[in-house]
Amino acid sequence: MSVLRPRPSAPASPPAPGPPDFTAARSKREKVRAAGLDPDYWYPVAHDRDVAAGRVVETRFWGRSIAVHRGDDGTLHAVENRCDHSRLQGAGAVGGRPLRCACRGPAHAGSAVPGAHDDDSHARGRPHGLPVAARHGLIWVFPGDPARAGEHPVPGIPELEGPRPWARIDADFTWRAHHSMIFDNVSDFSHAYLHRKYRPFWDAVLTHCEPVGDSVRLSYRTRIGGGRFTGRFVDRRRVDTTSIDLTFDYPYQRSDTGGAIKHWCFVLPMDRTTTRVFFVFYFDALTVPGTRLRVPRPLMGPLMKTAGALTVRPLLREDGVAVEAEQAGYQLHHAAPVVELNPAVHLFQDLIIRKWQEHLDREHAATGPRTAPSAADRHRDAPAPSRSTPQGP
């Protein structure tokens, strides 16, 4: 009598390797998706209104945990979120006056450093506070060298300051996507089909793009503000909505439509696959639908809240779905060739790669020279693509 025995199963295939790090990356696509953002800039970490006195908010910058705390007197503090004694992360989880280590409790009142002790030997090794500021309704942290905090100030937005600030809409999201994908998305107007329900822009034609120092400037001929709600309030007789100018002012992105509709996009790179995004849209004036009368300033606030809920945030969630899908695809097919048709995207990516390499070079210079060029050096020294200024038909 024969006995049927199951065939031995084939050995399981090893899991496919994930995307390479910055040094090992070979293609521009792999390089930019592994690059961080230079820490020697200011980055938003929270809305000012969300950090009340005595509250501790934990955030991350490129995998580095940071605790932000507002004292009872309203003073903001930002510190590395770890205890200096045991390197316990989450040491800022306990609030109070001042911050306390969640494990051992002792705190240092002067600098609000979690887990600091009075003993000088401990104090020498404790984490230092980070520069922190509140501006434009956001809390900003400078995660790099504190001595350089004045070299790259928080961007000024004069329209939001003074006695008659413009009406604004704020929105923020945490997306499972690399920050470079988000910059590509918000500046590439070839994806109008994604927003066919809300129509923030359509029929876009790139008319200009060029790198200028640490920025990229581009313009589109397009139609702006065609949504069923917001489109009714735009005064097209006074504001030119047939074009838009965008600038990637590393590491921030902004736009200007007719000098009357503007926005900023600020990102916080939490890690290689997670980014928190802060959008600020602001408007000079809107009109009462069907008339030439401007919406009274006291009514602009409620109108902005309604527009944010009905149009702006749902529209931006569509972008979030798109970039998260792109990130998921990249994780699986990072080595596959990709055709990028928008020359402006190439310029964004070149800038992000260059700035990250410059940061790494500064770090290496501070710790000693390298004996041989790395793959990052070879990529940096490769000839850059030529500038292009496409013209529409």
What Rg value do the Cα atoms of the chain yield, rounded? 24
In a shared domain, residues 322 and 186: yes
> Average pLDDT, stretch 56-66?
96
| pLDDT value for 218 | 97
In a shared domain, residues 174 and 286: yes
In a shared domain, residues 340 and 247: yes
Q: What is the number of structural domains in the chain?
A: 2
- Domain termination site, one of 148, 181, 206: 148
In a shared domain, residues 127 and 247: no
Q: How far apart are CA 102 and CA 114, in angstroms?
A: 8
Please indicate whether residue 368 or residue 267 has the higher confidence score (pLDDT). Answer: 267
Q: Which among 266, 261, 227, 264 is positioned nearest to 243, based on CA atoms?
A: 261
Q: Looking at the domain assignment, is residue 227 inside a domain? A: yes
- Domain termination site, one of 148, 178, 207: 148
For CA atoms 131, 133, 136, 139, give the dihedral sign: positive
| pLDDT value for 6 | 53
Question: In whole numbers, what is the pLDDT of the chain averaged over residues?
Answer: 83
Q: pTM of the entire structure?
A: 0.82
pLDDT of 373 strictly over 80: no
Q: Which amino acid is at 314?
A: P
In a shared domain, residues 122 and 252: no
Q: Looking at the domain assignment, is residue 7 inside a domain? A: no
In a shared domain, residues 24 and 94: no
> Average pLDDT, stretch 215-241?
82
Q: How far apart are CA 318 and CA 312, in angstroms?
A: 10
In a shared domain, residues 62 and 30: no
Q: How far apart are CA 76 and CA 112, in angstroms?
A: 9
pLDDT of 367 strictly over 50: yes
pLDDT of 117 strictly over 60: no
Q: How far apart are CA 259 and CA 257, in angstroms?
A: 5
Q: Looking at the domain assignment, is residue 6 inside a domain? A: no
Q: Which residue(s) pair with 66 in the sheet?
A: 59, 80
Q: Looking at the domain assignment, is residue 215 inside a domain? A: yes
Cβ-proximal residues to 251 (8 Å cutoff; 6+ apart), any chain: 37, 38, 41, 43, 179, 267, 355
pLDDT of 134 strictly over 70: yes
User: How far apart, in Å, are the Cα atoms of 176 and each of 72, 173, 334, 346?
Assistant: 34, 10, 16, 22
Domain at 310, CATH number: 3.30.530.20
Cβ-proximal residues to 162 (8 Å cutoff; 6+ apart), any chain: none
Domain at 96, CATH number: 2.102.10.10
In a shared domain, residues 225 and 370: yes
Q: Looking at the domain assignment, is residue 14 inside a domain? A: no
In a shared domain, residues 277 and 367: yes
Q: Looking at the domain assignment, is residue 161 inside a domain? A: no
Q: Which residue(s) pair with 262 in the sheet?
A: 256, 282
> Average pLDDT, stretch 349-360?
98
> Which range marks the domain in which residue 346 is found?
20-41+166-393
Neighbouring CB atoms inside 10 A of 279's CB total 20
pLDDT of 237 strictly over 50: yes
Neighbouring CB atoms inside 10 A of 4's CB total 5
In a shared domain, residues 185 and 332: yes
Q: Looking at the domain assignment, is residue 153 inside a domain? A: no
Q: What is the pLDDT of residues 165-176, one digit of tens each?
A: 999 999 999 999
| pLDDT value for 130 | 96
> Tokens 């970039």 label which residue?
323
In a shared domain, residues 246 and 110: no
- Domain termination site, one of 113, 148, 183: 148
| pLDDT value for 9 | 57
In a shared domain, residues 119 and 175: no
Q: Looking at the domain assignment, is residue 85 inside a domain? A: yes
